[in-house]
Amino acid sequence: MKLSEELIWRGFVQQTTLMDIGKLDTAENKVFYHGFDASADSQTVGNLAAMMLDRLFIRHGYKAVLLAGGATSLIGDPGGKDKERPLQSEETVAENVKKAEAQLKQTFDGLDFTLVNNLDWYKTMPLLDFLRDVGKHFSMTPLVQRDYIAKRMGEGSEGISYTEFSYTLLQGYDFLKLYRDHKVTLQLSGSDQWGNGLSGVDLVRRVEGAEAHVITMPLIINKSTGKKFGKTEEGAIWLDPSKTSVFRFYQFWLNVDDESASDYLKIFTELSKEEIGNILHEFSANKAARLAQKTLAYEVTKLVHGEKRAKSAVKATEVLFGGVEAETLTSDDIEVLKAEIPVVEAQEGVVATLVAANLASSNGEATRLIEAGGVSINGEKVSPDAQITLKKGYNLLRKGKNGFAIVTAN
């Protein structure tokens, strides 16, 4: 499948300055850039969708320049926001840039790309040079007419500071700088960056007399909430396992609805059209088996967190919810589970073990839970007078439907 065909099939094209997207397949200069902001200490699955777009271009022979916005994140992008973003300290943004770069390196492991930080050129650029060499090429009229700026300047709005207003000039110059240094002629971005992309395209054409283009992809919407997968959205799913654990990350994909699973397989995995077609055919015949969700969850977790952790997330899920015995867990699986449920050593009796695992607040409560038939070990209900023999290694202690602990026994 050609690049242009795969872009459309996967749903990656929202807007573009290209009259014919098929020109991507035969372009002589195949160098693009994509910017990632550092407004938070981790990227999200929304950013992951953008990375999948980049990976697609790389697979089709394009050179990638990935930009961490060390300078632009100090300013704040007004796009998609109805009020001013709080400014972050230089130290915070610098730390966020380091983490963004680390996640980009991990997600693009094994692929060829160039990593840049726009603070490297802005930190030594005199203000007067910027105003004369860059600002002179921008007319105020089209800038104030852009949707996201006009909305902020409209009646009853909170307005927009010159700081955020200048963001589009900075991003426009990024394109010009990368054209000069890396021969970049194409910018990839989310649809909320369309206006900023046009600034770069126009600046390259005005200053260098060169042809430049931008392609934006649709913002990916979480259909369960109706909101985009953004850093400032409630319930954001982070790529950093300290913010969204590997297990929770896997569970998020495992629990998406049927329609979303079909769409996300195209966006968030690199499975071929034929492979996805076969999965969806089997899925439609037996939706209860949730093949689409299981495939999606494994593939995305493997990409972001590695194959070993992805397999552990699968095993942990099977132990907690699929009836697989806890003794099959490995130490790697336990590490994935530790972020979600207690892992405790067996105590003298089930009552004490329930308390140690914080599944009961006292011996009395633990006893009442057992008497009510709400406690099981390795799938076997615990009765007040029963003797339960723990298996050597790992055992699953369960309270009710959703209270779990792993109990270790020697």
Helix axes 291-305, 307-321, angle to 10 degrees: 140
- pLDDT surpassing 90 at residue 117: yes
Query: Model confidence over 260-291: pLDDT tens digits?
Result: 999 999 999 999 999 999 999 999 999 999 99
Give the per-residue pLDDT at 66: 97
Predicted confidence (pLDDT) at residue 185 exceeds the cutoff of 80: yes
Average pLDDT over residues 216-228: 79
- Is the pLDDT at 241 greater than 90? The verdict is yes
Q: Is the pLDDT of residue 232 over 60?
A: no
The Cβ of residue 208 has, within 10 Å, a number of other Cβ atoms equal to 12
Could you tell me the two tokens for 165?
Answer: 């207003």
Among 240-249, 354-363, 385-394, 395-404, the range scoring the smallest mean pLDDT is: 385-394
The rounded distance, in Å, linking the Cα atoms of 6 and 276 is 13
pLDDT at 39: 87
Q: What mean pLDDT is reported for the chain?
A: 91
HSE at residue 215, side-chain half, CA atoms within 13 A, is 23
- What tens digit of pLDDT does each residue of 97-107 get? 999 999 999 99
What number is the average pLDDT over the span 61-86?
A: 85
pLDDT at res. 159: 76
Is the pTM of the predicted complex or chain greater than 0.95? no
Q: CB of 100 within 8 A of CB of 44? A: no
What is the enclosing helix (H) or strand (E) of 407? strand 403-409
User: Across-strand partners of 395?
Assistant: 407
pLDDT above 90 coverage of the chain, percent: 75
Residue range 122-137, pLDDT digits in tens: 999 999 999 999 999 9
Token pair, residue 173, equals 């110059």
Cα 227 to Cα 73: distance, rounded to the nearest angstrom: 22
CA 83 to CA 1: how far, in whole Å? 43
Query: Angle at the Cα of 113 (from 112 to 117), degrees rounded to 5?
Result: 160
For residue 339, the model assigns a pLDDT of 87
Q: Would you say residue 365 has pLDDT above 90?
A: yes
Residue with tokens 């089709």: 60
Q: In what order do the strands lie in the sheet with 31-37?
A: 15-16, 213-217, 186-190, 31-37, 63-69, 113-117
The rounded distance, in Å, linking the Cα atoms of 122 and 120 is 6
Residue 154 confidence class, pLDDT cut points 50, 70, 90: confident
Over 90: is that where the pLDDT of 403 sits?
yes
Q: How confident is the model at residue 230, as a pLDDT?
A: 62
Least confident interval from 23-37, 153-167, 322-336, 355-369: 153-167
pLDDT band of 229, cuts 50, 70, 90 = confident
Res. 155: pLDDT tops 90: no
Confidence of residue 234 (pLDDT cuts 50, 70, 90): low
